[in-house]
Amino acid sequence: MTDSRIAAARLAASWLLAYPDETLLDRLDDIALVSADLPTGTRQPIEAFLAHVAGTSLIEIQQHYVLVFDMKRKACPYLSYWTDGDTRNRGQAILRFQQAYLDAGYRLGPEELPDHLAVVLAFAAIGDTITGEALLAEHQEAIHLLRDALAGMGSAYVHVLDAVVATLPDLTDEIRERMAELAAAGPPAESVGLEPFGQLLSLEPTGARR
């Protein structure tokens, strides 16, 4: 895919992975328009998810979203959770995401933690493409494991992850091995408070890049 098509697919996936509300409904026509120009590997899964949304009430989509992403650890959309769990190390990982956005000249909004896949995808699409690409590549194992978890749960959100995966490099034997290790061991366990690390979902330019 061209860089512009990769960015379009990632931005569409970012919108679809955010909490479903009226804002999402207002964007569906734009997402459908953009997806129509994408290659089959990204277009078809996005269209499949859009068809699901069209045939499902908003309240049902919201309930499913909460059930899957908020209640199921194996479908956690926070990328650093897969490698650091609820440990103090995760706090540092979250700060790395946050600093990457600030270094690229973007201020983070208050809605979501900076390692949420939807946020990273938006940053890779409309922020610093090179840094965003690096963050996605670094957490490729987590993205694939999330995709597999959604497939195993029979969630329609697997279509969105299929579109995301289609924008990533092909899996290597090393990545497959790491995925197996993460799946077998699970995230590290050490409960800590993550509130001080802030939340975001929107990216706002700060003005000057550093």
DSSP conformation class of 108: E
More confident: 181 or 130 = 130
Position 79, amino acid: L
User: CB 40: neighbour CB atoms within 10 A?
Assistant: 8
Q: What is the model's pLDDT at position 44?
A: 97
**Range 1-28 burial, b when 16+ CB lie within 10 A, else e:** eeeebbbbbbbbbbbbbbbbeeebeeee
| In a domain? residue 210 | no
- The boundaries of the domain holding residue 125 are 3-205
Counted domains in the chain: 1
Q: What pLDDT, on a 0 to 100 scale, did the predictor assign at position 13?
A: 97
52-67 pLDDT, tens digit per residue, is 999 999 999 999 999 9
* Confidence at 191, pLDDT banded by 50, 70, 90: very low
Mean pLDDT of the 167-190 span: 61
The pLDDT value recorded for residue 178 is 59
Among 69-78, 99-108, 135-144, 178-187, the range scoring the smallest mean pLDDT is 178-187
Paired with 205 in beta bridges are 106
Residue pLDDT, tens place only, 159-172: 999 999 999 977 66
Give the residue with greater pLDDT, 100 vs 188.
100
pLDDT of 192 reads: 39
Mean pLDDT of 74-97: 81
Higher pLDDT, 159 or 88: 159
Instruction: Name the helix (H) or strand (E) containing 170.
Output: none
Residue 123 lies in a domain: yes
73 found inside a domain: yes
Question: What's the rounded Cα separation, in Å, for the pair 101 and 120?
Answer: 9
pLDDT at res. 151: 97
* CATH code of the domain containing 78: 1.10.3480
Among 161, 139, 142, 141, residue whose Cα is nearest residue 150: 161
For residue 203, list its beta bridge partners: 108
Residues 135, 100: contact at Cβ < 8 Å? yes
Contact, 115 vs 96, CB < 8 A?
no
Is 106 contained in some domain?
Answer: yes
Residue 210: the pLDDT is: 33
Vertex 201 angle, CA 194 and 143, to 5°? 75
Say which residue the tokens 């859009």 belong to: 50
Say what the pLDDT of residue 92 is: 82
